A and B are shown apart, each in its own frame.
Chain A
Amino acid sequence: MNTSILSIITFLPLAGALLLIFINKDKENLLRNIALILTLVTFVISLSLYFNFDDQNPDPQFVEKSSWIGYGIDYHLGIDGISLLLVLLTTFLMPIAILASWKYIGKRVKEYLIFMLLLETGIIGVFVSLNLFLFYVFWEITLIPMYFLIGIWGGKRRIYATIKFVLFTMFGSLLMLVAMFFLYSMYYKATGVYSFNIFDMYKLVLNPSIQIWLFLAFALAFAIKVPMFPLHTWLPDAHVEAPTAGSVILAAVLLKMGAYGFLRFAMPLFPDALTKCLPYLGVLALIGIIYGGLMALIQKDVKSLVAYSSVSHMGLIMLAIFALNMEGIQGGVYQMLNHGLSTGALFLCVGILYERAHTRLIKDFGGVSKQMPVFAAFFLICMLSSVGLPGLNGFVGEILCLFGIFKANNLLAILGVTTVILAAAYLLWMFQRVMHGPITNDRVNNFKDLNKREIAYLLPIIIMMFWMGIYPQPFLRKMDASINKLVNQINQKKTFFTEAQKENKLLWDIKTLENATEHHQEKEEAVQ
């Protein structure tokens, strides 16, 4: 049982989707209940991952490996400290997303739930795959349900938004696929063995002139997904048109796949190219922070405001990750979780407003807190969490990120801090206009406060926000070992490359690196 737990978590939602196919589409409540129970069960099982996870071990755990198609394509799963928390975030948010769409999705409930469950399988699969091929398969699979979720249940411009979303993502990932083929054939030429195993790929030492192209191909795919400026244009469209739960999952988890891709693939695979591109990437991330914040300030639609705030926040996360030190990456990963919770919650709040008013324009609201005091409290906490108020989760993450960035580059860090100021500006201003002031719109008078279901799905997120803000240790300690290893791995390869370039060595052979790493370790031990 324990050995195949990752498979169970990954494929339980898929099994649920298959089950739903055979249930009459008119029994909507039955369908919803089944989907909810399945996602809850998935979440409970995934909790056991957390409790059985060994903090000290930096390597992937719960590993499952069996041969699948051959030619290096294996079924190879495992999670380390980074992916563990992202998997938990996914399984945690999925039941909430299903609850949030209980009433909002009134037509074609069956198909909707099937796509939600498929989406969960795809996302978890992305985080647990240790084989490049498998990773790519899951990566693409997440596109299909999202395509339908936006396209069928979205707003007026849904078709434009969903096609843009698919084409943008596909463009990046297809070039990444070519880069994967290249890695695959390089590995075959170097060793005579076919492999897509990510750990085998780490060993591969590539000529810097080739590395740069491969890195660009991988980075493009992930940067589109994150999204980094200037590849972000699909995001506001997709968010504004998507149904509430779709936006929640998109912002909270799908964007994290991009950042995760950088951490797992693009950065450790091509350290030399990474070093060369780092200044440009850092500047792009910074532009994202400021541009996203400024755009958020001028939005008239609450939902697109939150969408642009995502661009800004993800920029900070990427900047922290590019700091390439322990604090930065840890802060980045922690902030990914925070962003998942707070932005997810903000989208839920926007959804709650929309269900009552059928509009999302800021000017149509005002004075809502008088009618909905409970909601006002929830909304306030979610917003403050996103702003980064001490005591809430956002603060811890942002502080860690900024520590990391300061260590790497002062100028970038000083400019990066603007994210906090901008976030405070656009969110507080929005909150003021929507929740406070006189009631200008008659419809607001008829607003009803939160019902039990709505409280039920907001409350767990609020609890987590406080917990992660006040006592972050249980989360941070889980990722220590893995991030430490990642940082070491990148730095080790970097020094290897600089040394090798000095000596004009030919960088093709795998053995060179293995020798070099041993050599390096011996040196370090000798120093100690």
Chain B
Amino acid sequence: MNSLNALFPLLTLIVGALLVILLEVSVKRENKTYLAYISIIFLMICGFFCVQSWGKDFSYFNNHLYLDNFALFFSFVLIIATILVILISMKYLSLQNMNIGEYYALLLLALSGMLIMVSSSDLIVIFLGLEILSMSSYTLAGLKRGDQKSSEAALKYFLLGSFASAFLVYGLALLYGVSNSTSIAAIIKHFQAESSLSFMAYAGLGLVIVGFGFKIAVVPFHMWTPDVYQGAPTPITAFFSIGPKAVGFAVLVRLLYPFWRVAFNSEIIFSLLWIISALTMIIGNLIALRQTNIKRMLAYSSIAHAGYLMVAILSQDTSSLLFYFVVYLFMNIGAFAAVIALGKENKEYTELEDYAGIGFKYPWIGATFTVFLFSLAGFPPTGGFLAKFYVFSAAVREGLLSLVVIGVLASLVSVYYYLRVIVYMYMREPTHEVDINLENPAIFLVLFLCLYGVLQLGIFPGNVLLIIKQAVSSIAFL
């Protein structure tokens, strides 16, 4: 296999990022949107390479990197997410006085880290990818330099993220100590050979789960999320709510997927994940009830959604997990795009009060936001309903009935706070003047793309399900 071929997606991203930085340094232009276009072109090329490798199962560097359909699927989803995030950033950056070219380069670098993570089966390589992602993320969170909240977000993210990385490395070290290898396949082979697991192996596995628990923001490792989500520039918040979560879950699938099938007793791990999942759904939704800031509310809602995704992990149904991600990508970025659309020079409207009467004043933003909120709440005929439907029906099939009941009741709670935004938008009279800058075609493009995605996935998901089927069947273990 020609390993250069398989490296193209990564190389494209890195070349793109470096080019953006070079241009930023050498070309003196006030308007930085041309860098956004360049980044999008590189992302499209990268996406093209991903599509090219579909179904070919490249593996290279001594099996340290796999390009199976599973990895390609996640890569492709992440590339789309990044393109959408760049589109919603373009106007935002100039409105919020953040004309920094490195922004786009950092996004591309973060994406490259994520691509490494989803396409590796070696824990050390995964860790390298994670660090590339994390370093770029910390910087991105703090890029709104004039804003104290943004700096606070960056610092908090950095401190807690480093903690998480430390846990992860410690776990890796323990696993290496047990099995003499860092490759997931080898570790699992070792586990299979042993009749019962040593304490060290459990501790290692547990620490790895804790490390990734931080990244996917499940309770009780969610503390950083609200502050970081609220403080970071809004497009970056959208990026955080998709990217790190997606890769975290991809790695968890790679790591845990084979475990269910091996003979050893995984009950401890199972009940640990069960409790995490239930707590995440309950606490995420309950705390979201009390939020008056939209970004904070969406942060808690994203925690709750991580809980639903954990249900999919527990029921070992990877295809419902992947479907949930695709839907989540569109509805969440759509929701954040609507939040970003309500902004003007040096001003963002993120308090619930600001949304009073928006629905009739800006009918398109209101209507699309409403659809995204309904989708997040899980109403048919949106994708959000079908996503929950698949996750929960798979869980019932696997006998996780009590978890599903907790899940649906938690999502009943979520209906309240999602609908509350709609109440403000359509049913309350505005208390103060909200005046926004509407010259933002890119935002409207994103809103309509996401609207299309949410409805298409809710009503005719056939093709996507087919692709997901191919992706799942390619997971290359055991």
Contacts and interface: CB of A to CB of B under 8 A. Distances in A.
Interface string A161-198: 01100110011001101100110110010000000000
Contacts of A111: 360
Contacts of B409: 174
Contacts of B397: 181, 184-185, 188
A104 B84 CA distance: 43
Interface stretch (A43-51, A145-153, A406-414): A145-153
A158 B412 contact: no
Contact of B393 (A143, A170, A175, A184): A184
Interface string B364-394: 0000000000100001110001100100110
B401 A178 contact: yes
A140 B427 contact: no
A141 interface: yes
Contacts of B415: 166-167, 170
A70 to B, nearest CB: 7
Contact of B381 (A137, A166, A178): A137
B379 A178 contact: no
Contacts of A170: 412, 415
B163 to A, nearest CB: 37
A292 B423 CA distance: 30
A158 B427 contact: yes
Nearest to A217: B405
Nearest to B415: A170
A141 B392 contact: no
A241 to B, nearest CB: 11
A108 B425 CA distance: 14
A182 B426 contact: no
A166 B401 CA distance: 24
A324 to B, nearest CB: 30
Contacts of B251: none
Given A141-B380, A141-B381, A177-B408, A147 B419 contact: yes
A69 interface: yes
A232 B422 CA distance: 25
Contacts of B396: 178, 181-182, 184-185
Contacts of B380: 136-137, 140-141
B452 interface: no
Interface in B239-289: none
B416 A167 contact: yes
Interface residues of B, number: 31
A30 interface: no
Given A140-B379, A159-B423, A69 B392 contact: no
A152 B426 contact: yes
Interface centre among B386, B393, B397, B428 (most CB of A within 10 A): B393
A177 B396 CA distance: 11
Contact of B423 (A70, A163, A175): A163
A144 interface: yes
A178 B404 contact: yes
B411 interface: yes
Contacts of A184: 393, 396-397
B51 interface: no
A136 B408 CA distance: 15
A15 B408 CA distance: 32
Interface string B293-314: 0000000000000000000000
A185 B396 CA distance: 7
B392 A167 contact: no
A181 B420 CA distance: 29
Given A175-B405, A182-B396, A185-B397, A163 B412 contact: no
B425 to A, nearest CB: 10
Contacts of B385: 137, 140
B462 interface: yes
Given A136-B380, A144-B374, A178 B427 contact: no
B124 interface: no
Given A111-B360, A178-B392, A181-B397, 13 more contacts: A70-B462, A70-B465, A137-B381, A137-B385, A159-B423, A162-B423, A163-B423, A170-B412, A174-B411, A181-B396, A182-B401, A184-B393, A185-B393
Interface of A: 69-70, 108, 111, 133, 136-137, 140-141, 143-144, 147-148, 151-152, 158-159, 162-163, 166-167, 170-171, 174-175, 177-178, 181-182, 184-185, 188
Q: Lowest 5 A-B CB distances belong to which pairs?
A: A181-B396, A137-B380, A185-B397, A174-B408, A181-B393
